[in-house]
Amino acid sequence: MVRRYFILFISIFFITSLNAEDGYKLWLRYEPVSDIQLLAHYNKSISGLMFEGTSSTIKLASEEMKAGLKTMLGAEIPQVSYVRKNGIIVAGTPESSKIIASLKLKDKLAKAGDEGYIILNSKYRHRRIIIIAANSDAGVMYGVFHFLRLIQTHQSISVLAIESSPKTKVRLLNHWDNLNRSVERGYAGLSLWNWDKLPDSVGQRYKDYARANASIGINGSVLTNVNANALILTKDYIAKVAAIANVFRPYNIKVYLTARFSAPIEIGKLKTADPLDPEVADWWKKKADEIYEFIPDFGGFLVKANSEGQPGPQNYNRSHADGADMLADAVAPHGGIVMWRAFVYDNNVPDDRAKQAYNEFVPLDGKFRKNVLIQVKNGPIDFQPREPFHPLFGAMPKTPLMPELQITQEYLGSSVHLVFLAPLYEECLKSDTYAGGRGTPVAKVIDGTLDDHELTAMAGVSNIGNVRNWTGHPFAQANWYAFGRLAWDPYMTSSDIADEWIRMTFTNRNEAVERIKKMMLDSREIAVNYMTPLGLHHIMYSGHHYGPGPWVDRGRKDWTAVYYHRADSVGIGFDRTSKGSDAVAQYFKPVRDIFEKTETCPENLLLWFHHVPWDYKLRSGRTLWDEMCLRYDSGVKSVRWLQSEWGKSKEFIDNERYEEVKALLVKQERDAKIWRDGCILYFQTFSKRPIPDGIEKPEKSLDFYENYRYTDIPGISR
């Protein structure tokens, strides 16, 4: 038996090794199991499949299991109707499966909830079986993907006792896609949604997108840009959205849309969009009814209002709660929700832009409808390489808050730089807010356990486009994957997520996994060092945000770099202490006290909260100036280390993806040097201090870097 599987395995391995690897399969490659002993273990443990249920979701879960096992194990696992021998996988719910109903799983399934599942070894009529059980067909599907992940990552299935359920209810991607198929802050081609061909033509890629999301537990997709276009709410476009929703539904994915607040005027021909005007409220109610006629499981609306020029309730002297509640009332009869973004700041430059969201939303706590979530960016500015956690987390106990994480690398090298974002997400989610005393991380705020909220959610700004490998950079796929895993369980570690992704995407060879994992886990800190060390922020080029721009001083003050770094002859940094903007007051004690003092403030946020003298001694014993130069230089040298480590991985990676990453790392080194040299030369005009010994000297003059223009930034029109 083993010999037969071995021969079949060798044949499949030989064939697949000849195929070009373009990255389209993402982490669902289902490569043949290369460990012969493990292969024998799997084949001995799995002899048949019994999927019980008739829904389209159960059908696709069954097909996924069958196809995945066939490829990985080198033999087709038959579908069976009875448990006549050991090793049958029984998948279903207590309602669909008499076998599952007969087992004592009631307590375990009660904890699993609507979408969770259990995977365990059991016995039925003296036969050893593997159970994948859930309360819903969607839960069964998620369990199937988990089981396949066990095989993909070469784990034993002889002792299974897995209980998994999502910690957040709504786990969705925010697509910043426009109706002309351009993608704001998108670096991987055009939008997936081909509106011109919809609803008549629905391509295979929509299904593949839904399948990839389902495999990591994502259950929602906001199809349109937060800088919304009211046309998406017209009948013709709703029909197009419905065609997408029909593809997504079997994968338990709901569609959501962004609602332009002025839509009643723009497409409804009303004279006002005042949320307290009965005619406006009625218009939105009828519009919601129309959408639900086309899409019965429509998820609801995401809204950006009164920010960066977008219309909103404040145009009519109304509050964010007035606007959100009006929309919430429109979708509530259908079970819909409203996600209202807290990313707000106006044209009147405040003393500190970082404070504005907190100031506007905290007084509204408890004034929002039960089906409203406030969507809060991980930090108080705008997806910077490093920010402190947003002070709103924990500050609105009567209102469910959902984090908005950016998967697309707007400020972290687009789809050119290798930057694994799970450490950034984890840093935020594990930050202790002290909202409920010590041990109250952001994760506990957003998963509802702190304030007993039933409606919970997490959003990620998508990095997906229509390029063949979906995300541009092969490693950028890991950020999509990491978001999904953390949305399901915000307590996961970056290391575990990276380990899974590498094994599913590249190789299970331990020596390669450990090397690549270290590259990934270090990559975010490397980028911070060559871009914005020690708490610097918002010093990028003003238009594309790709390269450095600490010299940017024109336009709106809170869009300039000088507004944030405030470098002068004395020092550098934004004073947010009680003697400055007092942004620290928005945090709970003792967090505010830690941030308040230079000696206790984490050095990686020092210049975020303090204006620090150039000669200030850091814990390393070096002056601020010397340490800043050292961090910039170490960032560049660390990119070279990434190149070296990737070179050592060549034998484990297919040639196509190996060469692609190798070429991108060359660009990343170039960009890191530009960041380092431009920033050091610019800040040196204030510090008047020499560049320390041992640090590479800039190759060009400051004038060169100030006038440098990139010609190869993905997604940027020139």
When computed from its CA atoms, the radius of gyration of the chain, rounded to whole angstroms, is: 26
Note the pLDDT of residue 509.
97
pLDDT tens, residue by residue, 559-569: 999 999 999 99
Give the C-alpha separation, 409 to 23, whole Å. Answer: 19
pLDDT tens, residue by residue, 53-83: 999 999 999 999 999 999 999 999 999 999 9
| Four-point Cα dihedral 67, 71, 75, 79, nearest 10 | -10
Helix, strand, coil % in the chain, rounded to nearest 5: 45, 10, 45
Give bridge partners of residue 81 from the DSSP assignment: none
User: To which residue do tokens 């550098």 refer?
Assistant: 572
| Residue 463, pLDDT above cutoff 90 | yes
Provide the whole-model pTM: 0.97
12: confidence class by pLDDT, cuts 50, 70, 90: very low
Q: Does residue 129 contact residue 47 with C-beta atoms inside 8 Å?
A: no
Considering the domain architecture, whether residues 476 and 560 belong to the same structural domain is answered as no
Q: Does residue 457 contact residue 171 with C-beta atoms inside 8 Å?
A: yes
Considering the domain architecture, whether residues 388 and 271 belong to the same structural domain is answered as yes
| Residue 211, pLDDT above cutoff 90 | yes
Considering the domain architecture, whether residues 35 and 74 belong to the same structural domain is answered as yes
Q: Residue 455: inside a domain, yes or no? A: yes
One DSSP character per residue, 409-444 reads: -TTTTTTTS----HHHHHHHHT-B--BTBSS-BHHH
Note the pLDDT of residue 715.
85
Give the C-alpha separation, 77 to 67, whole Å. Answer: 9
Six token digits for residue 352: 């500190």
Q: Residue 191: inside a domain, yes or no? A: yes
| Residue 4, pLDDT above cutoff 90 | no
Residue 302, helix vs strand vs coil = strand
More confident residue, 12 or 58: 58
Give bridge partners of residue 128 from the DSSP assignment: 123
DSSP category for residue 591: H
- 502: Cβ contacts below 8 Å, ≥ 6 apart: 512, 513, 516, 517, 520
How many other C-beta atoms are found inside a 10 Å radius of the C-beta of residue 65? 24
Note the pLDDT of residue 349.
61
Residue 162, helix vs strand vs coil = strand
Dihedral sign computed on CA atoms, order 255, 258, 263, 267: negative
Q: Residue 358: inside a domain, yes or no? A: yes
Helices 235-248, 278-294: inter-axial angle, 10-degree rounding: 40
Pairing of the two strands 612-613 and 571-572:
antiparallel
Active site members: 308, 382, 410
Note the pLDDT of residue 351.
84
State the average pLDDT for the chain: 95
Note the pLDDT of residue 384.
98
Order of strands, sheet of 88-92, starting from the edge strand that comes earlier in the sequence: 48-51, 88-92, 127-134, 117-124, 161-164
Give the C-alpha separation, 599 to 625, whole Å. Answer: 17
Considering the domain architecture, whether residues 261 and 273 belong to the same structural domain is answered as yes
Q: In the predicted model, what is the mean pLDDT of residues 424-446? A: 98
Closest C-alpha among 696, 690, 681, 692 to residue 633 = 696
Note the pLDDT of residue 348.
73
Is the peptide bond prior to 264 cis by the omega test (within 30 degrees of 0)? no
Task: Locate the DSSP E strands across 323-425.
Answer: 337-341, 372-377, 401-406
Q: What percent of the chain has pLDDT over 70?
A: 96
- 530: Cβ contacts below 8 Å, ≥ 6 apart: 632, 635, 636, 638, 639, 672, 675, 676
Q: Residue 569: inside a domain, yes or no? A: no
Six token digits for residue 557: 């003050």
- 553: Cβ contacts below 8 Å, ≥ 6 apart: 560, 561, 562
**φ and ψ of 300, to 5 deg:** 140, -160
pLDDT tens, residue by residue, 652-696: 999 999 999 999 999 999 999 999 999 999 999 999 999 999 999
How many other C-beta atoms are found inside a 10 Å radius of the C-beta of residue 472? 27
pLDDT tens, residue by residue, 375-391: 999 999 999 999 999 99
Note the pLDDT of residue 696.
96
Q: Residue 696: inside a domain, yes or no? A: yes
346: confidence class by pLDDT, cuts 50, 70, 90: confident
| Residue 718, pLDDT above cutoff 50 | no
DSSP category for residue 177: B
Note the pLDDT of residue 543.
85
| Four-point Cα dihedral 557, 562, 568, 572, nearest 10 | 120
Closest C-alpha among 415, 466, 28 to residue 205 = 466
Residue type present at position 324: A
Considering the domain architecture, whether residues 280 and 383 belong to the same structural domain is answered as yes
Considering the domain architecture, whether residues 375 and 338 belong to the same structural domain is answered as yes
Domain boundary among 118, 140, 164: 164
Instruction: Kindly report the CATH number assigned to the domain that includes residue 380.
Output: 3.20.20.80
Q: In the predicted model, what is the mean pLDDT of residues 278-307? A: 98
Give the C-alpha separation, 71 to 509, whole Å. Answer: 19
Split into its structural domains, the chain has a count of 4
pLDDT tens, residue by residue, 294-324: 999 999 999 999 999 999 999 999 999 999 9
Closest C-alpha among 372, 266, 260, 376 to residue 310 = 260
Considering the domain architecture, whether residues 439 and 587 belong to the same structural domain is answered as no
pLDDT tens, residue by residue, 400-434: 999 999 999 999 999 999 999 999 999 999 999 99
pLDDT tens, residue by residue, 476-524: 999 999 999 999 999 999 999 999 999 999 999 999 999 999 999 999 9
143: confidence class by pLDDT, cuts 50, 70, 90: very high
Considering the domain architecture, whether residues 391 and 527 belong to the same structural domain is answered as no
Domain boundary among 139, 164, 189: 164
Domain boundary among 164, 198, 215: 164
Give the C-alpha separation, 671 to 530, whole Å. Answer: 9
Reported as type and span, the H/E element at residue 563 is helix 562-565
Q: Does residue 418 contact residue 645 with C-beta atoms inside 8 Å?
A: no
Length of the chain: 718
| Four-point Cα dihedral 635, 640, 641, 647, nearest 10 | 150
| Residue 533, pLDDT above cutoff 90 | yes
Instruction: Kindly report the CATH number assigned to the domain that includes residue 18.
Output: 3.30.379.10
The boundaries of the domain holding residue 56 are 2-164
> Does residue 74 come out as left (phi exceeding 0), alpha (psi in the -120 to 50 range) or beta?
left
Give bridge partners of residue 121 from the DSSP assignment: 130
Considering the domain architecture, whether residues 97 and 159 belong to the same structural domain is answered as yes
Closest C-alpha among 417, 383, 384, 409 to residue 674 = 417
| Residue 553, pLDDT above cutoff 80 | yes
7: confidence class by pLDDT, cuts 50, 70, 90: very low
Q: Residue 570: inside a domain, yes or no? A: no
- 524: Cβ contacts below 8 Å, ≥ 6 apart: 385, 412, 419, 420, 421, 423, 424
Considering the domain architecture, whether residues 549 and 683 belong to the same structural domain is answered as yes
Considering the domain architecture, whether residues 48 and 72 belong to the same structural domain is answered as yes
Residue type present at position 715: G
One DSSP character per residue, 196-221 reads: TTTTT---HHHHHHHHHHHHTT--EE
Task: Locate the DSSP E strands across 175-291.
Answer: 220-222, 254-258
pLDDT tens, residue by residue, 80-133: 999 999 999 999 999 999 999 999 999 999 999 999 999 999 999 999 999 999
Q: Residue 350: inside a domain, yes or no? A: yes
Considering the domain architecture, whether residues 99 and 124 belong to the same structural domain is answered as yes
Helices 510-531, 494-505: inter-axial angle, 10-degree rounding: 120
